[in-house]
């Protein structure tokens, strides 16, 4: 028969073991040693393969979407490096995305969706531009969701890998986008660089 004190000890240890296993899976699950100099490709076999939803989107929408995604990647890279100033500087570039009106080559639905994404992206970018590093990472979570919807609908000239870290934001989880199948976590930076798994891919 197990002594009550032994039972209490086991109950206290179990949550610690679970947390340790989750941390180990983030740092070692990709088979990549932690460190800013490593660049081993991550496993993409379980990722969903997606294609842009829009049929022949307007050239200007495609061009602006590509530019916005390129700037987004700069923000993510700055957060990976724990560089608040670089993230703020890149975010400023997203504040100037143009709104569009319906034309012969873009449907009203396309323009409406594009403009709604641009407004949401601008709001998140403004928060990144004026926030400290912690606030920037929170806003980057919102920006990542809006950017994913934008490129999922209109496409990109670069590959889009959606990466998810289950430990981000106090274990609520957070996702971000990358143009390479390499895990570089913008929510933890140097603290836990490679926590994440690729969950979706949008091909150009």
Residue-range domain boundaries for the chain: 38-202
Report pLDDT digits (tens) over 124-161: 999 999 999 999 999 999 999 999 999 999 988 888 99
Return all residues near 34 (Cβ < 8 A) that are at least 6 apart: 27, 192, 193, 194
83 phi and psi angles, rounded to 5 deg: -105, 95
Is the pLDDT confidence value at 107 over 90?
Answer: no
Q: What is the DSSP letter of 179?
A: S
Report pLDDT digits (tens) over 51-90: 777 666 778 888 889 999 999 999 999 999 999 999 999 9
Strand ranges in the chain using DSSP code E only, listed in sequence order: 48-50, 160-165, 174-178, 197-202
Measured between alpha carbons, how far is 153 from 64 in angstroms, rounded to an integer? 13
Q: 3-state DSSP call for residue 19?
A: helix
């Amino acid at each position: 028969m197990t002594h009550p004190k032994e039972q209490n000890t086991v109950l206290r240890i179990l949550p610690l073991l679970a947390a340790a296993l989750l941390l180990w899976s983030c740092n070692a699950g990709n088979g990549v040693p932690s460190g800013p100099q490593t660049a081993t490709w991550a496993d993409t076999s379980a990722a969903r393969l997606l294609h842009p939803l829009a049929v022949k989107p307007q050239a200007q929408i495609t061009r602006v979407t590509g530019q916005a995604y390129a700037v987004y990647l700069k923000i993510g890279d700055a957060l990976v490096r724990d560089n608040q100033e670089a993230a703020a500087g890149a975010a400023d570039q997203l504040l100037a995305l143009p709104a569009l009106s319906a034309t012969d080559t873009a449907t009203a639905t396309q323009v409406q969706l594009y403009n709604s994404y641009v407004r949401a992206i601008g709001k998140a970018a403004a928060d990144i531009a004026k926030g400290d590093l912690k606030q920037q990472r929170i806003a980057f979570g919102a920006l990542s969701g809006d950017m994913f919807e934008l490129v999922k609908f209109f496409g990109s000239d670069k590959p889009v890998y959606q990466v998810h870290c289950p430990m981000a934001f106090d274990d609520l989880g957070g996702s971000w986008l990358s143009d390479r199948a390499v895990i570089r976590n913008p929510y933890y930076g140097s603290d836990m660089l490679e926590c994440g798994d690729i969950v979706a891919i949008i091909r150009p």
